[in-house]
Amino acid sequence: MEQEKYYDEGEKFYIEGNYECALNSFKKCNFIEKDRTCSNYIGCCYLELNDLENAAKTFEYLIETFPDWERPIMNLGRVYLKKNMLPEALECFRKAEIINPDEEDVYFYLGLYFYKIGDYQSAIKNYEKSLNINNFQSEAQLNLGICYSKLGMQKEALSRIEFAYRMDNKSIDALFNKGMILLSMKEYKRALEVFIELNRLEQEWIKRILLIAPKSEQANKPNKILEDIRR
């Protein structure tokens, strides 16, 4: 069936991060027959492409048509979060939570909201709720680790970030944050090993490493570190 083909194609592109192609496929899918999940994906593609106006219009249409569906309400909250309209974002996330308190993504985005306003305790609480529903979310584990780090709970932070990296060993953010936490714990040798691996994956991150390296007692020679990393 052609509609199914375009939907599957759109999902594949979306997972790969190819949002332009995903949007095109989902629009073709919807042209054959309107589908709410497909329309929600279209809104998410607009959101990822930073077309916030069309994203908001898509989610508002879905909310009007399917008022008891939490996903477009939650996704409209994501639009507001990107636009820094924080009270409106929180209102959407709370509404979505009331409709479906078992939706892991609602608590994930509540975690993002509370992190953004600097309330790390509340962010932790919501990331933990999300992970209690589904523990295998690498981004939620990473974000939780970062929140622990903000509160000076470095061992807990390291444990979560290492778990996130085991789930997604291509995550540059997880690796970088692991290195930063090891530096804060004065585990300089381990931190350098992490940064060398980071450089193997993404050389642009040398710049960040060099900004941090001089602060370390054991690593106060940036040129030497750069030489080690480039080997």
Give 156-188 pLDDT, tens digit per residue.
999 999 999 999 988 899 999 999 999 999 999
Q: Which pLDDT score, from 0 to 100, does residue 204 have?
A: 63
Q: Mean of the pLDDT values across residues 222-231?
A: 45
pLDDT band, residue 213 (cuts 50/70/90): low
- Is there a contact between 33 and 5 (Cβ–Cβ < 8 Å)? no
* CATH superfamily of domain region 1-101: Tetratricopeptide repeat domain (1.25.40.10)
- Owner of token pair 């080997």: 231
Q: How confident is the model at residue 208 (pLDDT cuts 50, 70, 90)?
A: low
Q: Which of 42-51, 101-110, 159-168, 195-204 has the lowest mean pLDDT?
A: 195-204
- For residues 28 and 4, is the Cβ–Cβ distance under 8 A? no
Confidence band of 42 (pLDDT split at 50, 70, 90): very high
Reported confidence tier of residue 200, pLDDT bands at 50, 70, 90: confident
Tokens of 132: 């209690």
> Does residue 222 carry a pLDDT above 90?
no
| Mean pLDDT over the full length of the chain | 90
Query: Who contacts 157 (Cβ-Cβ below 8 Å, separation ≥6)?
Result: 145, 146, 147, 148, 149, 177, 181
3-class state of residue 199 by DSSP: helix
Task: Give the pair of three-digit tokens for residue 133.
Answer: 């529903």
* Percent above pLDDT 70 for the chain: 87
Q: Is the dihedral of CA 64, 68, 72, 75 positive or negative?
A: positive
